[in-house]
Structure 1
């Protein structure tokens, strides 16, 4: 697989307007079928694990499309009949509240910084079988909250209440938030954008993950044309060659 060097440009569209839920709005679209194929491949990759229940979606850089991929893969699991919880753990650039049109006055940060209970903040969505936990107010110490014992307890609660948990976390190269959560998940999916994601950053991301016990399930490659997403692919090439 080939990755092109290009100056990183921050794209705030998803943060402003939410992710495009094409798997829900256009289930027969070819991109929706690609997302279902990605879901199946993630399950195949996780078959060798003791369990595949909590899956982290991250990227090397910002604006690689991880939130869009995480939300749509969560929907495909929900459409397959599983009870799914999508957690917006990107406390710096949250998107789930915009995607599902819910207030972000309370959420994950409220649980981690107080004695609020998840059952009181998790919301059902317009997608059957899919619930969401929005990020909540942006805290001054995101990494400390995500690496806390309370976060560990929260993930255990999620395991006991949902078939699948999808964690949307910040890019690995940008901040340490994702790294402090590696130990909590069963597998990690990396999202890249062809023609944007820098090969060196992707390689460093894989190397960072390899220093832990975390399992990389694969890489979702996002292709964009001038107007919108043009397609998604899945594989194990990380741009080393």
Structure 2
């Protein structure tokens, strides 16, 4: 999907809260880093940030520090933090601002994304749910692609449909979906049949944020 237009900035969102968006985002960033690519994981969910809790980071500075600064330039090395995982760097949200949507749609956010694209092989962004606030709509068209996380037991079909409509209205490049927290009819765990006589089973540890 990135043959004609390389994807270097990717956001993951969901229709509503508590559908596993942040957990999927964090794990995707880790897996990508394990392939040897330099990855920056950004917490742009400025209202319900989780990155600093997941990785035990200091959240006194972060994305909001960059977006609210009046300095002509900012040393990202002083704000971006190591993850303890090879090739993975982290940018927490920073202090909660009174105007998240305005910050995410600002020229400074565009400048930051441009700088991050030049510095990293992949920038993965955790953004707010589509149906909760307008934050993701205002930033999505400045990103190369968006993936929608759908929770099998929680996401409503109408909610997912509306989230897709909003992304299209924002001219976002929707790559597809991640079906999260899948449980087969036969019990716990994932079960996929590919129609070739083989069964594939994946364990489900039940972890979902």
TM-score normalised by length of structure 2: 0.84
Q: Shift in Å at residue 49 of structure 1?
A: 4.2
Alignment partners' CA distance in 2, 1:100 and 1:232: 30
Q: Shift in Å at residue 47 of structure 1?
A: 2.7
Q: Partner residue of 2:64?
A: 109
2:59 pairs with 1:126: no
Q: Partner residue of 1:198?
A: 156
Distance 1:128 1:232, change over 3 A: farther
Give the alignment partner of residue 60 of structure 1, picking from 7, 12, 15.
Answer: 15
Which segments of structure 1 move beyond 6 Å, counting only runs of 4 or more?
A: none
Q: How does 1:1-241 map to 2 (within 5 A)?
A: 46-114=1-69, 115=71, 116-223=74-181, 230=189
3-state SS, counterpart of residue 141 of structure 2? helix
Alignment partners' CA distance in 1, 2:60 and 2:182: 33
Q: For 1:38-59, what per-residue CA distance to the aligned partner results, in whole angstroms no more than 9, with x for missing partners? A: xxxxxxxx23441111001000
Contact residue 141 and residue 173 of structure 2 kept, 8 A: no
Q: Shift in Å at residue 150 of structure 1?
A: 0.3
Q: For 1:10-39, what per-residue CA distance to the aligned partner results, in whole angstroms no more than 9, with x for missing partners? A: xxxxxxxxxxxxxxxxxxxxxxxxxxxxxx
Contact residue 222 and residue 232 of structure 1 kept, 8 A: no
Alignment partners' CA distance in 1, 2:4 and 2:13: 19
Distance 1:142 1:197, change over 3 A: same
Bigger helix share: 1
Alignment partners' CA distance in 1, 2:65 and 2:191: 34
Q: For 1:50-72, what per-residue CA distance to the aligned partner results, in whole angstroms no more than 9, with x for missing partners? A: 11110010000001111111110
Alignment partners' CA distance in 2, 1:194 and 1:109: 33
Alignment partners' CA distance in 2, 1:153 and 1:230: 43
Q: For 1:105-126, what per-residue CA distance to the aligned partner results, in whole angstroms no more than 9, with x for missing partners? A: 1110011011343232001111
Q: Which has the larger radius of gyration?
A: 2
Alignment partners' CA distance in 2, 1:58 and 1:107: 20
| Structure 2 stretches lacking a partner, 5+ long | 193-209
Question: RMSD value over aligned CA atoms?
Answer: 1.8
Q: Which moved more, 1:207-216 or 1:51-60?
A: 207-216
Distance 1:107 1:220, change over 3 A: same
Alignment partners' CA distance in 1, 2:101 and 2:120: 25
